Structure 1
Amino acid sequence: MSLPNLWHHRRVAEGSAKACWICYKPSTSVLITPDNKDFFYICVGHLKDSGFCQPDADEVAAATARKKKEELDREIEKIKKEYEEKSARKREKRKEKEKEKDKDKDIDSKKQEEEEDKADEKAKDEKIKELSKSKENAQADDGPRIFILNKNFHQMRIDKIRNAEIAKRNRERLKNPANFPSVPSGDL
């Protein structure tokens, strides 16, 4: 039997946790082949062990995409904070100007400040939309975690499947009475 050495990492519910294939501790992480022919429970710590498995090259690219997404999130937060600080400063300046100027002159400056505020808000919204779009693209790249087992562990999985098939064949042979020798029928 040919078993591809490509394993997808999946999570199961806490209630469905079973023993890890390596250390027998309860685990909710499962490695499964793309064709669903074989699976086993494994601890997350073992997935990080380079002696057990390595992430697929595509997975490395996905990890870099996740890092970019986190950077975009930080940048969005930074822009929001800057905008809030800027608008707070403008409000303070307005209050100071209102105290200094007469009400007649103040009406014209309020209109100008409102226009500036609207322009700043539009610029902020555009930046956030732009960053959100690139963030959504980064999330679309986020696929299932894919691993490749080291050759010894992969061979162990193949041997286990092969032994299970042999045991199944032997059980079927024992159930079939035609496989047993018949009782002698001649006179002795």
Structure 2
Amino acid sequence: MSTTLPNVWHLRRVAETAAKACLICHKPSSSVMITPNNKDFFYVCPIHLQDRHFCSPIIDAEEEAAKKKAEVMAREIEKVKQEYEEKQKRKKEKAKVKKDKDESKEDSKDSKDSKDSKDEAAKGDADKKDEKERDEKIEAIKKAQGMGTPAADDSPRIFALHKNFYQMRIDRMRNMEAAKRNRQRLQDPSYFPSVPSGGL
């Protein structure tokens, strides 16, 4: 078993019922730091992760790209919504101008009522069509980006330990390996010297 241990630690959460003592302050913690190869892990309080003398975050290129993608998607969706609102404003203004023109003309009351009801029905259909078009655009943007909702937790997930803490973890692994080798040697009967044979 090799003692090589990468100084890359992923933050994982466990259930509160599985919380164990923090490496630093020994209070129960449900946050676990674990190496990518699962060789070593330890429990730590989330507050210690902000201490630059304990560890520092590693910026994950994929995670950063995903965040940027989510921001771009949010901007595009906002743009589509603004276009929809502007379209609705223009339609309302046109309808108002048209209504004013209709009122200026002295038409009979019956013909005016029938026109208003037709206009309102056409307007309702157009609004539904515009809403559907807006929703389709938003869905298309989400599909194009290949993303659902962005992650709510923006805290760093990958860390590198400070050199002293990293050395402690390496020493611990070396000691564990040495203890394991000693146990194996003790179980091997050829490890002990044989009883001398021969008479006195």
TM-score (norm. length: structure 2): 0.65
1:49 to 48, 51, 66: 51
As a proportion of its length, which structure holds more helix?
A: 1
Aligned to 2:33: 31
Question: Which residue identity is paired with 1:47?
Answer: L
Please provide the CA RMSD for this pair. Answer: 3.8
Gaps of 5+ in 2: 104-108
Alignment of 1:1-188 (within 5 A): 1-58=3-60, 62=63, 65-66=66-67, 69=70, 72=74, 79=81, 102-133=112-143, 134=145, 136=147, 139=150, 145-185=157-197
Question: Which residue identity is paired with 2:38?
Answer: N
> Matches of 1:56 and 1:43 in 2, distance apart?
18
Question: Which residue identity is paired with 1:48?
Answer: Q
Whichever of the two has the greater Rg, that structure is 2
Q: CA deviation at 1:117?
A: 0.7
- The alignment of Structure 1 onto Structure 2 pairs a total of residues equal to 172
Is the 8 Å Cα contact of residues 65 and 138 (structure 1) preserved in structure 2? no
Per-residue CA distance 1:69-119 (angstroms, 9 max, x = gap): 47929x66x949x86xx69xx6xx99xx7xx87422213312431243134
Q: CA deviation at 1:178?
A: 3.5
Is the 8 Å Cα contact of residues 9 and 145 (structure 1) preserved in structure 2? yes
> Matches of 2:192 and 2:146 in 1, distance apart?
68
1:124 is paired with a residue of what secondary structure?
Answer: helix
Q: Which is worse superposed, 131-140 or 36-45?
A: 131-140
Question: Which residue identity is paired with 2:9?
Answer: W
1:136 is paired with a residue of what secondary structure?
Answer: coil
Question: Which residue identity is paired with 1:106?
Answer: D
TM-score (norm. length: structure 1): 0.69
Aligned sequence identity (%): 53
Q: CA deviation at 1:155?
A: 1.1
**Cα distance change on mapping 1:138 and 1:109 into 2, 3 Å:** closer
1:163 is paired with a residue of what secondary structure?
Answer: helix
> Matches of 1:130 and 1:109 in 2, distance apart?
31
